[in-house]
């Protein structure tokens, strides 16, 4: 089995670090991803997609509206998996000419606290979760969204605690 490629999709939180460094130059050397992540991790700039294959890209996420999965798949015109909104949502577009051609936008939740300090107890729809992807040599793929409930989840028929 080949070694996994490590990808870091930067987003709004990393942009907060950039702004903090601009406001306080003394943070230089402490907050830059390039200086604080292992060299074998590929850093993808904010709002840029990482192309996994001909039919799939990964992004941090751009849209936060009510139908963000629909907006994302309509904008990218390829299956797109992202996490920016910390919720699970999906939307599929199917070609009216060839039903074997479809694109899916899928948000995948988050791996953080669901009530962080900066939210100040504001209600939200955040859910803990992630997804894993089976990528085939021909570019086809299967992605499996996994919801974490009370620090437990099922994957591949097994419960993890």
pLDDT in tens, 23-69: 999 999 999 999 999 999 999 999 999 999 889 999 999 999 999 99
- Based on the domain organization, do 24 and 62 belong to the same domain? no
Q: Within this chain, do residues 82 and 150 fall inside the same structural domain, yes or no?
A: yes
Is the model's pLDDT at 5 over the cut of 90? no
Mean pLDDT of 69-78: 95
Q: What pLDDT score does 28 carry?
A: 92
Q: Does residue 107 sit in the same domain as residue 130?
A: yes
Same domain? 42 vs 61: no
- Are residues 85 and 104 located together in one domain of the fold? yes
Is residue 38 domain-shared with residue 92, that is, in the same domain? no
Highest mean pLDDT among 28-37, 84-93, 130-139 belongs to 84-93
Q: Which residue has the higher pLDDT, 61 or 101?
A: 61
Judgement on whether residues 12 and 64 belong to the same structural domain of the protein:
no
Question: Domain tally for the chain?
Answer: 2
Q: Give the domain extent around 136.
A: 51-160
78 and 55 inside one domain: yes
Distance between CA atoms of 63 and 25, rounded to whole angstroms? 31
**Which pTM value belongs to this model?**
0.89
């Amino acid at each position: 089995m080949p070694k996994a490629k490590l990808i870091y999709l930067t987003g709004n939180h990393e942009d907060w670090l950039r702004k903090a460094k601009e406001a306080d130059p003394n943070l230089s050397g402490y907050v830059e991803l390039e200086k604080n992540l292992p060299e074998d991790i590929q850093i993808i700039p904010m709002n840029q997609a990482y192309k996994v294959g001909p039919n799939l890209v990964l992004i941090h996420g751009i849209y936060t509206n009510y139908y963000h999965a629909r907006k994302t798949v309509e904008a990218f015109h390829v299956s797109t998996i992202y996490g920016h909104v910390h919720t699970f949502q999906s939307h599929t577009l199917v070609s009216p000419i060839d039903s074997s051609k479809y694109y899916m936008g899928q948000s995948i939740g988050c791996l953080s606290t669901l009530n962080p300090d900066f939210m100040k107890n504001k209600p939200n729809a955040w859910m803990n979760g992630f997804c894993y992807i089976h990528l085939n040599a021909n570019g086809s793929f299967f992605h499996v969204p996994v919801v974490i409930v009370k620090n437990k989840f099922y994957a591949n028929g097994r419960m993890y605690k």
